[in-house]
Amino acid sequence: MATPATTPGTTGTETTGAASAGAASAGAEAIRTWLTERVAYFLDVRPQDIAADDLLVEIGLDSVYALTLCGDVEDEFGILVEATLAWDHPTIDALTAHIHSELAAR
């Protein structure tokens, strides 16, 4: 049976990207910035054009991008989220607070 390839100096059980230990302690501002940049990318706008209290659905985030955002949040922060994340927490501020509290609860 083949074993998964690992990078030299790793055991193969480490997480990559921001889902590492650093993401677990991510500050609210870092989360807000990441979310704003991600949503801006989906909407093809500049991050500074998105206010933290804009309703995501009103600025154009559709269900496909909302679901994609869920997967991106899971990958980036190493937490499981519901598929309704963007509807349950409909602004960048609300998403930030939710993700920050989930990370703090670990």
* 46-92 pLDDT, tens digit each: 999 999 999 999 999 999 999 999 999 999 999 999 999 999 999 99
What is the model's pLDDT at position 25?
A: 53
Q: What is the pTM of this model?
A: 0.76
Number of Cβ atoms within 10 Å of the Cβ of 101: 10
From CA 27, how far away is CA 1, in angstroms rounded? 42
What is the model's pLDDT at position 15?
A: 39
Mean pLDDT of the chain: 83
More confident residue, 23 or 51: 51
From CA 42, how far away is CA 84, in angstroms rounded? 17
Instruction: Compute the average pLDDT of residues 28-37.
Output: 97
Listed residue (16, 6, 13, 22) closest to 106, CA to CA: 22
State both tokens at 24: 């677990």
More confident residue, 21 or 36: 36
What is the model's pLDDT at position 6?
A: 37
Nearest-Å Rg of the Cα atoms of the chain is: 15
